[in-house]
Amino acid sequence: MTTLKIPVRPQDHVQGSANAPIQLVEYGDYECPYCGDAYSVVKTVQREFGNDLLFAFRNFPLTQVHPRAFPAACAAEAAALQDAFWPMHDTLDENQESLEDDDLVGYAEKCGRDLAQFEQDVASDGVAERIRADFVSGARSGVNGTPTFFVNGQRYDGSWQPDAFLAFLNELRAGRELR
């Protein structure tokens, strides 16, 4: 199995308990239809596992095939600077067919963000560097497509359809080894 080269760190976008026995890291692309499918699976896993799961999302925009993935990632990171990463993340995943610049500004407005600051941050070098750092960390860990999941530091190459993924995670939570 491939290991996660950079473990979950304080600057990651996380949901759940830092002490959770299951850490799930997703490298995703907001324009990727498979990531859109995985979004609902992750929500199911989060509901099922509650405090037993820490979920971290890292950007991995595949710009050659998804030209709006990088601008969407910039919108998520700009929203994060106003403490709204997760509302923006969810909105982007739920609206993958609408990722034009006007859409992204509209989502920021719906999230109640300062639009002037949002537009400045979207275009900032700091936001672009954050996305590049996520991308490089994924590449170092062998990510070559999206979504890619790591469970407790090990790449998960099994099915991420709800029943199979939940069964795998339940086995892990019960103390069985990763396979």
List pLDDT tens digits, range 109-156.
998 999 999 999 999 999 999 999 999 999 999 999 999 999 999 999
Which CATH architecture best describes the domain 13-173? 3-Layer(aba) Sandwich (3.40)
pTM of the model: 0.95
The whole-number pLDDT of residue 48 equals 95
What are the boundaries of each domain within the chain?
A: 13-173
Length of the chain: 179
pLDDT in tens, 3-36: 999 999 999 999 999 999 999 999 999 999 999 9
